[in-house]
């Protein structure tokens, strides 16, 4: 359940209960969820199964203890969700303070029935695990959920038939759907299983017949509606689906040249034997070096993140291979070089150039953070240009799948102050690093450590130096951003 910021205080109603005062009674008409916020040592709430026994002032509870509810724990969540009477009664064992949340109160704040809001978010969560939808922006995803049409099917009724044109995507909300091909039963699909996603993008006929085995409810999305929602992003999705369909084996690839070298191995320019005009990048990672530097978990995480991310501002990942000596990452080939080289050849970037590259990186970071991924090593070397000059984020070896961490990783010149302190940091460190990069774009040199090779001095500068800059935009043909003044405090 997502509650808008600033409105949560209207949901919680604070209440205090003394010992021997009943907090909830069985069959209470207004379903409520309880969260203890403060109490004695410790304050305890108990769920009672018999309705006649009561807690006396100085006697033990003379009923079977089903559950002890401690500070921070919940009681009655299912009743709140479904707006049903409480199944058990709850009595205070000692002076107890709690927050009371009613179904009506939450529905009023959310602007709709709580059950509908929960179902809406559940559908979003399910779609987020499906390839075709997981790369959509949040507003697109919400439009998709709102565009679903609810369809009910009787037992034995066909949903789609093999050979007919595929124009809809189906998501099973309840019931069981049997899959048949050429009259042979293949398998059954259950709640939140789906079929027909390829038909939203490609001109294909149904490869199987789908039939309800019991009364079932399906959510249906029309092809034309989906096309309207994704707009020009449809071409990107079609390209990604075609890459998925491309069954590439290591033996199908031919090496054209070596285009890069790193601490773990080489990056090779390769092409597929069936299409000599289409180039890919093959990152070769030596297993021995990975083991020696204890980077096995990091490499596995990098593969996982690469596989789940698909965004125009992130390098497209295709597949992986391995042999006795190496692990191979096959990705799209970005032939424009990295941003580190580009800004040193171009010099100070113009306003439009800075906005464009900064915008590309911002979109990539927003996408990652929306999936609870911290990048943690943002720098010009990790931003590569394609042949059209579009900037894409590469190298996910320092990423972490959470939005808070304590480990100091990355490149010192781009460290944020909170990561140096060592008391924990969030994804905000990525925005700090972007700020450092924007300084490079506009001013030229790095804002910290440019006059020293001493890393301790560098970290001290990051913690103590305040840069005061007045940025002025001149209406000149060059469109340059100029620094009117800069000083250190």
**End position of a domain, from candidates 82, 110, 138:** 110
At 18 the pLDDT is 42
Q: Does some domain include residue 140?
A: yes
Q: Does some domain include residue 9?
A: no
Q: Does some domain include residue 351?
A: yes
At 75 the pLDDT is 65
Q: Does some domain include residue 384?
A: yes
41 and 168 part of one domain: no
CB-side neighbour CA atoms (13 Å) of 164 = 10
Q: Does some domain include residue 426?
A: yes
Annotated binding-site ranges: 287
CA distance 441 to 475: 19
| SS3 (DSSP) at 413 | helix
352 and 462 part of one domain: yes
CB-side neighbour CA atoms (13 Å) of 196 = 28
192 and 98 part of one domain: no
354 and 459 part of one domain: yes
171 and 269 part of one domain: no
At 46 the pLDDT is 33
At 50 the pLDDT is 30
CA nearest neighbour of 114 among 14, 32, 220 = 32
Annotated binding-site ranges for ATP: 287
127 and 100 part of one domain: no
CATH number at residue 88: 2.60.120.10
DSSP string, 236-293: HHHHHHHHHH----GGGEEEEEEEEE-SS-EEEEEEETTEEEEEEEEEEEEHHHHHHT
Q: Are 284 and 267 in contact (CB under 8 A)?
A: yes
CATH number at residue 324: 3.30.200.20
CATH number at residue 443: 1.10.510.10
Q: Does some domain include residue 389?
A: yes
Q: Are 97 and 39 in contact (CB under 8 A)?
A: yes
322 and 343 part of one domain: no
Burial 401-410 (b: 16+ CB within 10 A, else e): eeeebeeebb
Q: Are 404 and 425 in contact (CB under 8 A)?
A: yes
Residue 451 annotated as catalytic: no
**End position of a domain, from candidates 93, 110, 127:** 110
Each residue's pLDDT, cut to its tens digit, for the chain (489 residues) gives 444 444 444 444 444 444 334 444 455 444 443 333 333 323 233 333 333 223 333 334 344 444 666 665 666 666 667 777 666 666 665 555 666 666 677 777 776 777 788 888 899 988 887 878 877 888 889 999 999 999 999 999 999 999 999 999 999 999 999 999 999 999 899 999 999 888 888 888 999 999 999 999 999 999 999 989 888 777 777 776 766 666 788 888 999 999 888 767 789 999 888 778 888 999 998 898 888 888 888 888 888 888 878 788 999 888 889 998 999 999 989 988 899 998 888 888 889 999 999 999 999 999 899 888 999 999 999 999 998 889 999 988 889 888 788 888 889 899 988 888 888 899 999 999 999 999 899 888 888 877 778 888 888 888 876 544 334 334 443 444 443 333 333
Query: How many domains is the chain built from?
Result: 4
128 and 179 part of one domain: yes
**End position of a domain, from candidates 49, 80, 110:** 110
Catalytic entry in 193, 338, 377, 430: 377
138 and 184 part of one domain: yes
326 and 421 part of one domain: no
At 67 the pLDDT is 60
Q: Does some domain include residue 217?
A: yes
148 and 256 part of one domain: no
263 and 143 part of one domain: no
| Domain boundaries, position 328 | 247-332
Q: Does some domain include residue 218?
A: yes
């Amino acid at each position: 359940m997502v509650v808008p910021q600033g409105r949560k205080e209207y949901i919680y109603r604070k209440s205090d209960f003394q010992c021997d005062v009943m907090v909830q009674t069985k069959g209470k008409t207004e379903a409520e969820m309880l969260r203890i916020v403060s109490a004695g040592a410790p304050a305890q709430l108990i769920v009672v199964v018999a309705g006649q026994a009561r807690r006396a002032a100085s006697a033990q509870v003379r009923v079977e203890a089903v559950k002890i509810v401690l500070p921070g724990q919940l009681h009655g969540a299912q009743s709140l969700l479904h707006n049903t009477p409480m199944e058990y009664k709850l009595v205070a064992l000692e002076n107890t303070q709690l927050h009371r949340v009613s179904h009506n109160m939450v529905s009023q704040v959310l602007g709709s029935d709580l059950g509908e809001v929960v179902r809406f978010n559940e559908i979003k969560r399910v779609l987020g695990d499906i390839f075709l939808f997981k790369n959509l922006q949040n507003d697109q995803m919400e439009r998709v959920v709102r565009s679903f049409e609810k369809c009910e099917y009787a037992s034995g009724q066909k949903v789609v038939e093999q050979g007919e044109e595929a124009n809809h995507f189906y998501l099973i909300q309840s019931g069981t759907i049997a899959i048949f091909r050429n009259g042979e039963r293949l398998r059954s699909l259950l709640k939140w299983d789906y079929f027909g996603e390829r038909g939203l993008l490609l001109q294909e006929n149904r490869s199987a017949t789908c039939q309800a085995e019991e009364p079932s409810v399906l959510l249906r999305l029309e092809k034309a509606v989906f096309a309207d929602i994704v707009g020009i992003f449809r071409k990107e999705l079609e390209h990604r689906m075609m890459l998925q369909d491309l069954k590439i084996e290591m033996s199908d690839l031919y090496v054209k040249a070596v285009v890069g070298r790193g601490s773990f191995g080489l990056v090779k320019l390769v092409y597929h034997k069936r299409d000599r005009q289409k180039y890919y990048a093959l990152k070769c990672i030596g297993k021995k070096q990975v083991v020696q530097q204890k980077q096995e978990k990091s490499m596995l995480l990098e593969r996982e993140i690469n596989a789940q991310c698909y965004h125009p501002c992130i390098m497209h990942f295709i597949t992986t291979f391995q042999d006795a000596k190496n692990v191979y990452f096959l990705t799209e080939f970005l032939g424009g070089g990295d941003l580190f080289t580009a800004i040193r050849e171009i010099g100070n970037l113009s306003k439009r150039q800075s906005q464009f590259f900064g915008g590309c990186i911002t979109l990539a970071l927003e996408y990652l953070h929306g999936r609870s991924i911290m990048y943690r090593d943002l720098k010009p070397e990790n931003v590569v240009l394609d042949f059209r000059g579009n900037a894409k984020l590469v190298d996910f070896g320092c990423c972490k799948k959470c939005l808070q961490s304590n480990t100091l990783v990355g490149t010192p010149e781009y460290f944020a102050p909170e990561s140096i302190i060592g008391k924990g940091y969030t994804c905000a460190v990525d925005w700090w690093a972007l700020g450092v990069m924007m300084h490079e774009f506009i001013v030229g040199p790095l804002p910290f450590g440019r006059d020293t090779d001493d890393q301790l001095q560098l970290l001290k500068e990051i913690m103590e130096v305040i840069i005061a800059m007045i940025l002025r935009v001149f209406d000149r043909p060059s469109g340059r951003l100029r620094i009117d003044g800069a000083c250190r405090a």
